[in-house]
Amino acid sequence: MRILAIETSCDETAAAIVETTDSGVLNVVTDVVASQLKTHSKTGGVIPNVAARMHTEALTRVLNEATEDKKLDFDAIAVTEGPGLIGCLLIGQSAAKTIAMVTGKPLYPINHLEGHIYSAWLPPAQQSAVSSQQSAETEKPRAESRELKADGSPQLPALIVIISGGHSELVLMKEHLHYQLLGATRDDAAGEAFDKVARLLGLPYPGGPAIAHLAEKGNSNAYKLPISLPEKDSLEFSFSGLKAAVGSLVQKLPQPLTRQIKSDLAASFQKTVSDTIKRKTLSALDQNPEIKSVCLVGGVAANQHLRANLELAIYLNHPRIKFFLPDLKYCTDNAAMIGAAAIFHTRYGHPTPWQELIADPNLAL
């Protein structure tokens, strides 16, 4: 089974071909991402109509690269149905509908969050934090493969920790394609808080990488910042108060802020976000002793401090539970994760007629 996957939910135009065989081998045959980062960094955030236009300009080229100028065949099409920016979603869905209509091949709509979940199943499966990150405006196709052994991919039941720009959620996954929401953010998501705090410190967009870089030379214990909803049994997140606390500190400190003060603030903020996620994750594990694996996924899962901190906490408190991380290139939006989710839909779900596909910007998992 070979899937052509398309992802255009926000500001990455992506296409990939993901395949599997009856013997359990998963291959990312091609994985192409055209990033809009340079454009949106100039305005400090994603402008929806600009993002949609750039998808229109890039998608044909990205699809050609992913299919190696239509030389690579595929058995089905997968596309993000939501959540996301409505104009951006429609660009990818229009292409997927057209391909499905012309080829007669089955179409699988995929929830964007479900794609992030299945990024933990993409090869090579990681069970420890990795230390390097590759970034480029356009990633060229690459081929990778790894056999899905019993101990090489997450075992169910699994706790999925989704931490991204728009979502902070704890999801219990007892079976493939079945999800139980244990807790979510009441206000800002972690990634959104990173962007807002970066703006307070005069850092560029996106805020996550900028804060992480600045925090490398900071003292993470320099400022005591609050963990919201600290009750032991609470599995909900709240990051708006943390952002407000940083803003209050910035106003009280001597102006202009020195580089060291900014580094200390960035490190303290990053540590508090990480400690919050760690506390909620450990609480979820205590409340659900049947869990066998923990998967940290989403754009903020690329943060090295969070990766290492959560891995160590699980090792020390629940050593029997395995910890899984997607490769850094699969943390941010990509089509390979959409294809990976579609592989499991071909096994346990069913396709949708292309005429019935609709874009849902608020689609729940």
AA identity, residue 76: A
In angstroms, the Cα distances linking 76 to 22, 91, 211, 341 are 16, 18, 40, 13
Each residue's pLDDT expressed in tens, for the chain with a length of 365 residues: 999 999 999 999 999 999 997 766 678 999 999 999 999 999 999 999 999 999 999 999 999 999 999 899 999 999 999 999 999 999 999 999 999 999 999 999 999 999 999 999 998 644 444 323 333 333 333 333 333 333 478 999 999 999 998 999 999 999 999 999 999 999 999 999 999 999 999 999 999 999 999 999 999 999 999 999 999 899 999 999 999 999 999 999 999 999 999 999 999 999 999 999 999 999 999 999 999 999 999 999 999 999 999 999 999 999 999 999 999 999 999 999 999 999 999 999 999 999 999 999 999 99
- d(CA 14, CA 102) in angstroms, rounded, equals 21
- d(CA 111, CA 165) in angstroms, rounded, equals 16
* Phi then psi dihedrals of residue 324, to 5 deg: -125, 140
| Structural contact between residues 36 and 27, judged by C-beta atoms closer than 8 angstroms | no
DSSP per residue over 167-218, as a string?
Answer: -EEEEEEEETTEEEEEEEBSS--HHHHHHHHHHHTTPPSSHHHHHHHHHTTS
In angstroms, the Cα distances linking 77 to 98, 181, 283 are 10, 28, 39
Domains in the chain, CATH or no CATH each: 2-148+332-356 (3.30.420.40), 158-291 (3.30.420.40)
- Sequence-ordered list of residues with C-beta below 8 angstroms from that of 363, at least 6 positions apart, any chain: 81, 82, 83, 111, 112
Angle at 66 between CA 148 and CA 11, to 5 degrees: 95
